[in-house]
Every structure is written in C-alpha cells, then in structure tokens.
Amino acid sequence: KPQDLKLNHLVKVISPDARVLVGKIRYIGKVPALDDTFVGVELPDDSGSSDGTYRGRRFFICEPDQGIFVPFKKVVFSWYTT
C-alpha cells in the first residue's frame, strides 16, 4: 500500500521505459492530471528524467536527470538502511 512507503527509504522501481532503478523516496502522493498515487525517486546517477519537478511543479529537489516519478504500482519493493 502507498501508506507503507516512507520518505528517504530506498526503493526499487520499474521506470516508464522498463528499466529497473534503485533510488531514495523523496515524494509520495498525487501529481497533476493523474489519479494514481505517484512516487518521486532520487536516483544516484543521471538515469532519470526529472529534477524533482513534474509538469512544471516542484515536488522535491535533486540534480537534473536524477529524479523520476513512477506510479505506485511500479514499485517493486522498498527498504530502510541505517
């Protein structure tokens, strides 16, 4: 369930172009014009397509191309490390 996810936990997701990516959860919630719950993920490299903005609205801050937004159903699993 989306409410089981926590900000700053690590997450494995399937990107829109079918790549498996691992990053840190930076946003959980709605995005403009879409009904699903989305997860904003900060990636460790520039394999993303966002800087934390979606359709011109900022949801979190990261370097260019180090962020990605995926629908919750594309989350494979998440975990926390200390």
Domain residue spans of the chain = 2-79
Using DSSP's 3-state secondary structure scheme, residue 2 falls into helix
pLDDT at position 22: 98
Question: What pairs with residue 53 in β-bridges?
Answer: 58
Rounded distance between C-alpha atoms, residue 68 and residue 50, angstroms = 6
Is pLDDT at 71 greater than 90 in this prediction?
yes
Instruction: Work out the pLDDT band at 32, boundaries 50, 70, 90.
Output: confident
Task: Annotate 17-64 with DSSP letters as a single string.
Answer: TS-EEEEEEEEEE--TT--S-EEEEE-SSS-SSBSSEETTEESS---T
pLDDT at position 24: 98
pTM metric for this prediction: 0.92
Instruction: Work out the pLDDT band at 34, boundaries 50, 70, 90.
Output: confident
Q: Which CATH superfamily is domain 2-79 in?
A: CAP Gly-rich-like domain (2.30.30.190)
